[in-house]
C-alpha cells in the first residue's frame, strides 16, 4: 500500500534519529482517495527512513516534509517522481541524492536550504519560481534536459559554480536578483533575458 511521508522531526531522546509521520493511501474511488489516520515511526535513523521493515518504502513525499531538517546524507529512493513545494525549505543537508525517476520540482522546493552537494537528475525539464531562493549550495548540477526556468528561481542564492544547460533559451525576471555566484555560465542559445535578472547580484565570473 502506498504511503505519504508527511514530515520528519528530531527524536527528543535521540536527536541523531528522527520521528517519521506518514499516512497510508487507500484505493481511489472516482475522484476520491481515502487517507488513513496519521501514523508515527519513532526513533528512526536517517539512513533507514526509506528502507527496512519499519520504513517508508512505496511513497509520495508531502509539502514541507523535510523543511528545517538537519541531515548529513539523504538518498531519496527510486520511484519518487515529484519533490513538492517547500519540501526542503530551510533544511541543512550535506549531501542530497535525488532519484532518476524524478520529473517535477515544486515551488520553493530548496528555498533557504543549505546543501553542500546537489545534482538535479536528467529528465527534469523545469525549475519553478523561487526554487532555490536564498539557498546556499556549494555544488549544484543542473540536467541537460532542463529547458525552462521560472521567475526568481535563484534570487538571493549563494552558489559556487552554476552552469545553465544549453536547452535553456530564456532567463526570466529577477532570476539571479541579489544572488552571490562565483562563476555563472549561460548557454550560447540564450535569446531572452528578463527584467532585473541580475539586479543586486554579485557574480565574480559571467560567461
pTM of the model: 0.87
How far from chain centre, in Å, is Cα 97? 10
Q: What whole-number distance in Å separates Cα of residue 48 and Cα of residue 156?
A: 34
Supply the pLDDT for residue 53: 46
Backbone angles phi and psi of 148, in degrees to 5: -130, 130
Q: What whole-number distance in Å separates Cα of residue 194 and Cα of residue 159?
A: 20
Supply the pLDDT for residue 135: 98
Residue 109: is its pLDDT beyond 90?
Answer: yes
**How many other C-beta atoms are found inside a 10 Å radius of the C-beta of residue 162?**
22
Residue 86: is its pLDDT beyond 80?
Answer: yes
User: Domain map of the chain by residue range?
Assistant: 1-60, 63-206
Burial of 100 (0-12, 13-18, 19+ CB in 10 A): exposed
> Which pLDDT band, with edges at 50, 70 and 90, does 93 fall under?
very high
Supply the pLDDT for residue 44: 86
Backbone angles phi and psi of 13, in degrees to 5: -85, -30
Beta bridge partners of 71: 93
Q: What whole-number distance in Å separates Cα of residue 67 and Cα of residue 70?
A: 9
Amino acid at each position: 500500500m502506498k504511503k505519504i511521508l508527511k514530515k520528519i522531526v528530531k527524536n527528543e531522546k535521540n536527536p541523531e534519529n528522527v520521528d517519521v509521520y506518514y499516512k497510508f493511501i487507500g484505493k481511489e474511488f472516482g475522484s476520491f482517495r481515502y487517507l488513513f489516520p496519521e501514523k508515527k515511526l519513532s526513533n528512526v535513523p536517517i539512513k533507514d527512513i526509506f528502507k527496512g521493515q519499519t520504513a517508508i518504502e512505496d511513497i509520495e513525499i508531502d509539502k514541507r516534509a523535510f523543511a528545517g531538517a538537519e541531515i548529513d546524507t539523504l538518498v531519496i529512493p527510486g520511484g519518487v517522481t515529484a519533490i513538492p513545494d517547500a519540501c526542503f525549505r530551510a533544511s541543512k543537508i550535506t549531501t542530497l541524492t535525488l532519484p532518476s525517476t524524478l520529473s517535477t520540482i515544486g515551488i520553493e522546493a530548496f528555498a533557504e536550504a543549505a546543501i553542500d552537494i546537489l545534482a538535479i537528475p536528467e529528465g527534469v525539464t523545469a525549475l519553478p519560481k523561487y526554487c532555490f531562493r536564498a539557498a546556499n549550495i556549494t555544488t549544484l548540477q543542473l540536467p541537460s534536459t532542463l529547458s525552462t526556468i521560472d521567475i526568481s528561481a535563484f534570487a538571493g542564492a549563494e552558489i559556487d559554480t552554476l552552469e545553465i544547460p544549453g536547452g535553456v533559451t530564456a532567463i526570466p525576471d529577477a532570476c539571479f536578483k541579489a544572488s552571490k555566484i562565483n562563476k555563472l555560465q549561460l548557454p550560447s542559445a540564450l535569446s531572452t533575458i528578463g527584467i532585473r535578472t541580475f539586479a543586486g547580484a554579485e557574480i565574480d565570473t559571467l560567461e
